[in-house]
Amino acid sequence: MRVLITGTPGTGKTLIAEELGKLTGWDVLHISEIAEEASAVRHEEEESTVDVARLFSYLGLVLKKKKNLIFEGHLGCEAPCPAELVVVLRTHPEELEKRMEKRGYYREKIDENVMAELLDYCYQLAEKNFSCDILELDTTGRTPKTCAEKIFAYINGSIDALDKVSWENYLERKTGRHPRGE
């Protein structure tokens, strides 16, 4: 099974993919490294940008050669690619903010990522781009190891669902407004 782990930066993709790699014995590929290999990254002064079309055409070739693997990255949800399972990691916006602050992200980047998480950005894109199973996993208050064990249990067939995540109530409490204006 080819498993994509995606989600907003800071949700724990890299750590959880490594843990899941240990549990399954499957290779773990990092989409950021594949983007470099594909020469799809343009390094600029402020921020580097990725040519998503170039990345995904190369990624498709890499994935076609493997039956079992784990690949991870926030760009994973941006376009279709060969996968049998997509896991979208979710983290409560306040915890996500703390993780990014600890990591030294700029305020602007933190706000942008918190907003993406609040609006289910990755999950909605995954739904648009993938026809395989798409699961959400809430990492809030859970260790990367516990999260990986949950995904492993799903792969094994010992559980048949993960989480259903929505920060709508939190957003409503914070802003006093419903996100869809209802």
Cβ(54)–Cβ(40) below 8 Å: yes
* Rounded-to-5 percentages of helix, strand, coil across the chain: 50, 15, 35
Neighbour-count burial of 137, counting CB atoms closer than 10 A to its CB (0-12 exposed, 13-18 middle, 19+ buried): buried
| Shortest CB 13 distance to Mn ion, Å | 5
Using the minimum distance from each CB to ligand ADP, give the nearer residue, 57 or 109: 109
Binding mask 9-28 toward ligand ADP (x if CB under 6 A, else -) reads xxxxxxx-------------
Cβ(38)–Cβ(54) below 8 Å: yes
- Interface positions, 19-78, toward ligand ADP (CB under 6 A): none
| Shortest CB 113 distance to Mn ion, Å | 12
Mapped onto helix, strand or coil, the DSSP state of residue 50 is strand
**Which of 143, 159, 175, 177: binder of ligand ADP (CB under 6 A)?**
143
| Shortest CB 155 distance to Mn ion, Å | 21
Which two three-digit tokens encode residue 62? 């890499």
- Residues engaged in binding Mn ion (CB under 5 A): 13-14
Contacting residues toward ligand ADP, per CB under 6 A: 7, 9-15, 99, 102-103, 139, 142-144
